[in-house]
């Protein structure tokens, strides 16, 4: 059923930009002039998006208020209504971003109207020796803290080889910036770095890698970055921050530099980061949904945010001088968790760069920009709560002087992203309480569960748009392993998203409540590849979800009837099954099974880019089969097979 595709595979969207194409010797392409966007003016786009969101939220709010006010509005009704107002904007915006993005991709010309500043390289016209000459220097900055350095430096070596293949590597320098506090890990870091640096032994001093380890990690990653930039002022025009799990193809890095050189008004150019093939079943689930879901969402967001785009903290090219001059983060008054050094630096640096008069742009198309995703739900939770704490510090910047209106909205959006789950939980519990305290009223329970389903559907609208995008794009389904494999994976991922949504909402709500009592998270190394979670560990970590789910189910059963429990299953199932879901998706066997069947496969598992050949384990792509022989497929298929083997499997 899940066998290999029956026809040659065509790479989808992201062309193989790691292998330089041959060209006529001595021919030097001219750098393109700065290009500005076409289509609707940006101001009109923003008013259109504002109108769509306002009308949608108002309509939904009016409908909820009408139902609540049928017999008068009490305290519980107001809790439901206020919770709805807080939970709705984030999901409505995601819905319209996805709709707009899908329309732009399939009915517009996004290369002219959305990202005229960036043209993705391709095998026939990408960066190559003798191509466009660069006039700048760029530092590639890798940040480390208490993580196993061996796989990290393997990824760094893959990037080095990919950059070498462009013929432009002399314009780049690697720098490893460590905040590692574990002395044994630090010693291993140094050994791995020395092996890496040995490859540059005969290169000029300006190209040799740099290793720098701080004994005091004040300011976390942002502090380490600023210390380095201040100590090396004037040495690099741009810098490209990399997380320890980042991988980027050399040609796309060169293309980003070319775009920055040609567009001096751009201060930050953020690439669309996607997950690379993984062994973990949880990671495969998560990144499969994000892969097609982020495409329409990001395109729609870029369509209206334009020069006030996002910065995600890594895999982005940044203009050094204005960053140093304008993007320093203040130390907030008070102690952690809401005071002290800012934990989530990226969005603030983006709005400060925009305040300084430079554009912040996102590349809303897939190139060769990768990261790994957390291998288990508990690791995902740790990362999510670190972002949550950082975003809760943003309220102090809502009225910061000189910010653009869109920048203020982005700060508010970052806060509401984590307020929404708490509001959602309170809203759903209040609706259930109203159904029970006033005598069992099926209409009120239906309202509570209906709100859950409505918000869930709107929250997964980007993924639905992504599925439609893949189905509507020639060759796309095949790049995911075929129609059956893709559609089954999409359905299972949506089901997993339904189970995951209330689970995430509860741990965010518990954490937000703990912030008022000084609960904080630690900035430390992350588990990038260890699989398996013991049942006891999962139970201890997910006690709130389990108890809440069982408690609500029991209350509905005793206070109402079995039909009420069945009606509430879309919400209750994720809570009651939190522990087995977490253990199962973290199990090595689940990862092996999904990889063997090709479930939750991404395009790189069909045609593996050269930059990933040395960093993706075979266990993450075991479903792949050799392309059929050219002699069995005729001359056209033979030509396609040869091209794909050269592009996707070459060194």
Decide: helix, strand or coil at residue 228. Answer: helix
For the residues of 72-106, what is the DSSP string, one character each?
A: ---HHHHHHHHHHHHHHHHHHHHHHHHHHHHHHHH
Residue in 314, 306, 317 with CA at minimum distance from that of residue 134: 317
pLDDT average, residue stretch 566-573: 83
pLDDT of residue 557: 82
Confidence check: pLDDT of 22 > 70: no
Neighbours of 389 (CB within 10 A): 23
pLDDT of residue 35: 53
pLDDT band at 12 (very low <50, low <70, confident <90, very high): very low
Decide: helix, strand or coil at residue 387. Answer: helix
Q: 391-400 b/e with 16+ CB inside 10 Å = b? A: bbbbeebeeb
Residue with tokens 């497929």: 633
Q: pLDDT per residue over 98-135, tens digit each? A: 999 999 999 999 999 999 999 877 644 444 444 678 99
Q: pLDDT per residue over 208-250, tens digit each? A: 999 999 988 888 899 999 999 999 998 999 999 999 999 999 9
Confidence check: pLDDT of 202 > 50: yes
Alpha-carbon distance 572 to 445, whole Å? 13
**pTM of the complete model beyond 0.85:** yes
Higher pLDDT, 454 or 524: 454
- Proportion of the chain in helix, strand, coil states, percent, rounded to 5: 60, 5, 35
pLDDT of residue 70: 67
- Length of the chain equals 651
pLDDT average, residue stretch 389-398: 92
Neighbours of 536 (CB within 10 A): 9
Residue in 11, 15, 528 with CA at minimum distance from that of residue 249: 15
Q: Which residues pair with 144 in a beta bridge?
A: 178
Higher pLDDT, 530 or 184: 184
Q: pLDDT per residue over 504-553, tens digit each? A: 999 999 999 888 887 877 666 566 667 789 999 999 999 999 999 998 88
Q: Of all residues in the chain, what percent carry a pLDDT higher than 90? A: 59
pLDDT of residue 126: 41
- List the structure tokens of 157: 């070596």
pLDDT of residue 37: 59
Rounded to the nearest integer, the mean pLDDT of the chain is 84
Higher pLDDT, 8 or 282: 282
Say if strands 359-362 and 266-270 run parallel, antiparallel, or are unpaired: parallel
**C-alpha to C-alpha distances, 98 to 39, 370, 461, 464, 478, nearest whole angstrom:** 19, 22, 7, 9, 23
- List the structure tokens of 266: 């751009």
Q: pLDDT per residue over 78-92, tens digit each? A: 888 898 888 888 889
Residue in 143, 221, 144, 220 with CA at minimum distance from that of residue 180: 144
Q: Residue 319: enclosing H or E segment and its boundaries?
A: strand 316-319
Confidence check: pLDDT of 644 > 70: no
pLDDT band at 633 (very low <50, low <70, confident <90, very high): very low
C-beta separation of 15 from 648 below 8 A = no
Confidence check: pLDDT of 611 > 60: yes
C-beta separation of 513 from 506 below 8 A = no
Confidence check: pLDDT of 424 > 70: yes
Task: Provide the sign of the torsion angle of the four alpha carbons 148, 152, 154, 157, taken in this order.
Answer: negative
Q: pLDDT per residue over 273-322, tens digit each? A: 999 999 999 999 999 999 988 999 999 999 999 999 999 999 999 999 99
Higher pLDDT, 645 or 176: 176
pLDDT of residue 20: 40
C-beta separation of 126 from 20 below 8 A = yes
Q: What is the phi/psi pair of residue 123, to 5°? A: -60, -30
C-beta separation of 493 from 289 below 8 A = yes
pLDDT of residue 170: 94
C-beta separation of 575 from 506 below 8 A = yes
């Amino acid at each position: 059923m899940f066998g290999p595709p029956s026809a040659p595979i065509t790479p989808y969207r992201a062309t193989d930009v790691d292998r330089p194409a041959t060209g006529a010797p001595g021919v030097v392409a001219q750098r393109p002039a700065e290009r500005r966007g076409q289509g609707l003016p940006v101001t009109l786009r923003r008013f259109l998006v504002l109108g769509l969101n306002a009308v949608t939220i108002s309509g939904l709010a009016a409908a909820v208020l009408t139902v609540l006010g049928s017999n008068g509005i009490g305290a519980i009704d107001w809790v439901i209504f206020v919770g709805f107002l807080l939970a709705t904007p984030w999901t409505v915006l995601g819905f319209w971003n996805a709709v707009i993005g899908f329309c732009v991709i399939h009915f517009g010309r996004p290369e002219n109207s959305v990202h005229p500043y960036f043209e993705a390289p391709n095998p026939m016209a990408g960066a190559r020796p003798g191509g466009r000459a660069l006039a700048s220097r760029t530092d590639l900055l890798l940040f480390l803290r208490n993580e196993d350095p061996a796989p990290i430096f393997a990824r760094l070596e893959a990037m080095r080889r990919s950059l070498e293949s462009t013929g432009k590597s002399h314009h780049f320098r690697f720098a490893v910036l460590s905040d590692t506090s574990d002395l044994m890990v630090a010693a291993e870091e140094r050994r791995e770095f020395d092996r890496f640096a040995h490859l540059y032994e005969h290169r000029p001093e300006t190209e040799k890698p740099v290793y720098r380890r701080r004994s005091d990690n004040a300011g976390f990653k942002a502090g380490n970055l600023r210390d380095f930039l201040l100590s090396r002022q004037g040495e690099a025009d741009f810098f490209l921050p990399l997380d320890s799990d980042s991988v980027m193809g050399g040609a796309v890095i060169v293309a980003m530099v070319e775009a920055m050189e040609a567009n001096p008004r751009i201060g930050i150019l953020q690439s669309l980061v996607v997950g690379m093939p993984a062994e973990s079943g949880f990671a495969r689930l998560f990144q499969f949904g994000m892969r097609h879901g982020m495409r329409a969402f990001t395109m729609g967001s870029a369509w209206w945010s334009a020069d006030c785009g996002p910065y995600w903290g890594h895999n982005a090219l940044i203009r050094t001088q204005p960053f140093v001059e304008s993007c320093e983060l203040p130390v907030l008054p008070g102690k952690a968790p809401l005071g002290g050094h800012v934990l989530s630096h990226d969005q603030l640096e983006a709005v400060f760069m925009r305040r300084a008069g430079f554009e912040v742009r996102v590349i809303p198309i897939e190139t060769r920009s990768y990261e790994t995703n957390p291998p288990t739900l508990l690791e995902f939770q740790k990362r999510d709560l670190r972002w949550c704490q950082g975003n809760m510090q943003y309220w102090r910047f809502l009225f910061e002087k000189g910010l653009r209106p869109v920048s203020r909205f982005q700060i508010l959006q970052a806060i509401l992203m984590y307020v929404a789950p708490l509001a959602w939980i309170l809203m759903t519990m209040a609706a259930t309480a109203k159904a029970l305290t006033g005598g069992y009223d099926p209409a009120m329970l239906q309202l509570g569960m209906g709100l859950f389903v409505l918000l869930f559907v709107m929250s997964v609208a980007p993924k639905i748009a992504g599925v439609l995008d893949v189905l509507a794009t020639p060759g796309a389904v095949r790049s995911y392993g075929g129609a059956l494999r893709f559609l089954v994976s999409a359905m299972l991922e949506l089901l997993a998203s339904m189970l995951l949504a209330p689970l995430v909402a509860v741990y965010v709500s518990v954490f937000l409540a703990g912030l008022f009592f000084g609960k904080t998270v630690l900035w430390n190394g992350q588990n990038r590849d260890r699989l398996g979670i013991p049942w006891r560990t999962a139970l201890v970590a997910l006690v709130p979800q389990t108890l809440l789910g069982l408690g609500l189910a029991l209350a509905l059963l005793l206070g109402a009837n079995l039909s009420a429990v069945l009606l509430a299953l879309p919400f209750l199932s994720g809570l009651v099954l939190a522990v087995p879901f977490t253990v199962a998706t973290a199990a090595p066997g689940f990862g092996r099974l999904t990889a063997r069947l090709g479930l939750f496969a991404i395009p790189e598992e069909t045609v593996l880019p050269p930059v990933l050949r040395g960093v993706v384990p075979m266990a993450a792509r075991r479903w792949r089969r050799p392309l059929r022989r050219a002699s069995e497929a005729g001359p056209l298929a033979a030509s396609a097979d040869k091209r794909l083997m050269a592009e996707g499997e070459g060194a």
